[in-house]
Amino acid sequence: MASEKLQDVLEKEVELFRSLLDFSKKFVGELDHLSLNIISEMLNLRQEWIDKIQKLEEVRAQLTDEKLSPELETYLQEISALAKNLVEIDNLIYRHLEEEKLKIVREMSGMAAGKRYQKREIQSGEGTNNFLDITQE
């Protein structure tokens, strides 16, 4: 009885892992074309799947108190392989997010440097020569 329940849990876990992996592969393929808001929503959806998987793993841990049959071991090996693929995809996602973050930081620091330069020019009077006062006529 416990073995059948454990098998059901493992089958559900494999199914969730496969769904998550399929979704993640599609998601990674579109990363360059998605806005940060969409990426954030996608990561939230992935987290919901991961939460479901973790609950199943807790149930599995409660049901696993003896040596597993070869059939059940096969499920665990498949889960392990799927989890490894997900970790690789996670690395791609977080590497992309890090690149986006650095790009934004570079843009913002460039804008801040430009504003400091303009402010210094105006305060020193050097920048005023470049402006044409149209009210002098």
DSSP track, 19-59: HHHHHHHHHHHTGGGS-HHHHHHHHHHHHHHHHHHHHHHHH
Q: What average pLDDT does the structure give for the chain? A: 83
Range of the domain at 86: 2-125
Residue 133 lies in a domain: no
In a domain, 80, yes or no: yes
**11 belongs to a structural domain:** yes
Residue 108 falls inside a structural domain: yes
pTM of the model: 0.71
Q: Is residue 60 part of a domain?
A: yes
Count of the separate structural domains present in the chain: 1
The pair phi, psi for residue 7, each rounded to 5°, is -65, -40
Residue 136 confidence (pLDDT) above 50: no
- Evaluate whether 39 touches 31 at the Cβ level (below 8 Å): yes
pLDDT at 65 over 90: no
Are 20 and 49 within 8 A, CB to CB?
yes
Q: Name the band, by pLDDT with cuts 50, 70 and 90, for residue 15.
A: very high
Q: Work out the average pLDDT over 42-52.
A: 93
Separation of CA 12 from chain center: 24
Is residue 134 domain-resident?
A: no
Any domain includes 136: no
Fill in the amino acid letter for 56.
L
pLDDT band for 67, please (50, 70, 90 cuts).
confident
Asked if the structure places residue 93 within a domain, the reply is yes
Percent of the chain with pLDDT over 90: 44
